[in-house]
Amino acid sequence: MSALLDVRGIGKRFRGLLAVDNVSFAVARGSIFAVIGPNGAGKTTLFNIIAGAIAPDRGSIFFDGAPIDGLPPDQVCRRGIGRTFQLVRPFPALSVEDNVIVGAMLHHHELAAARAHAHQLLRQLDLFDRRGQIASTLTLPDRKRLEVARALATRPKLLLLDEVMAGLRPVETDRMVLILRNLSRETGLTILLIEHVMQAVMALAARVLVLHHGAVIAEGPPAAVVREPTVVHSYLGAEAV
């Protein structure tokens, strides 16, 4: 079976800094794939390139068999890629429900249908009881889940999650892991996540890619990757062994 997302030789330079250096990987349909690496490794840049927020200098990206590199973010979303932001950015003055309705409007022209779809997602993300609340009044964990719900409302085939666990307490992390695992299992959703929380990566990802200074230094199943000496040395630290 062909991969849902196929990244080939992507490179991006910001003036003197080579942020992403010849990165290639493939994400299989229905799988959960994680990208890890120290701060400044180029994870978010890579992520923004896939989402269309930044155009790559070189390389190509195929999604569902068609090239998407260089497309603007709205068209990338229409092809079936939903995303969250590292620093959460729900629409602050809108209610929780309206935030998700905005996403659901991509496929529903009628407000009633979009609202019904939004309600279903809010239940899945444990936010249904807060649906009338203004988004800016939510706590960080709630805002993170709201962003996931909003992105899911566009009915993506691939969900890009940028450090969705960062800043969460362990209990909240477990809750998010459970939600994501259920989503993947029940709907066949493919997930690509950038993550620092290794506990979540180990629990969720079938494959892990490790970036360092913009380049891939390891790729494989999480249990194998964390034992590779280069990874231990550059990212996890010697004490992790």
Q: Which residues bind another protein (CB under 8 A)?
A: 51, 53, 72-75, 77-78, 82-83, 85, 89-95, 98, 101-103, 105-106, 109, 111, 114, 131-133, 150-151, 153-154
- Tell me the closest approach of the beta carbon of residue 152 to another protein, in angstroms: 11
Based on CB atoms, which residue is closest to another protein, 80 or 167?
A: 80
Inter-residue contact 7 to 24 (CB < 8 Å)? yes
Based on CB atoms, which residue is closest to another protein, 78 or 169?
A: 78
- Tell me the closest approach of the beta carbon of residue 75 to another protein, in angstroms: 8
Based on CB atoms, which residue is closest to another protein, 10 or 100?
A: 100
Inter-residue contact 233 to 61 (CB < 8 Å)? no
- Tell me the closest approach of the beta carbon of residue 89 to another protein, in angstroms: 5
- Tell me the closest approach of the beta carbon of residue 87 to another protein, in angstroms: 11
Based on CB atoms, which residue is closest to another protein, 103 or 222?
A: 103
- Tell me the closest approach of the beta carbon of residue 76 to another protein, in angstroms: 8
- Tell me the closest approach of the beta carbon of residue 238 to another protein, in angstroms: 38
Burial class (CB in 10 A: 0-12, 13-18, 19+), 36: buried
Based on CB atoms, which residue is closest to another protein, 48 or 190?
A: 48
Based on CB atoms, which residue is closest to another protein, 51 or 231?
A: 51
Based on CB atoms, which residue is closest to another protein, 75 or 187?
A: 75
- Tell me the closest approach of the beta carbon of residue 154 to another protein, in angstroms: 5
How far is residue 228 from each of residues 5, 19, 218, 219, measured CA to CA in Å? 25, 23, 8, 10
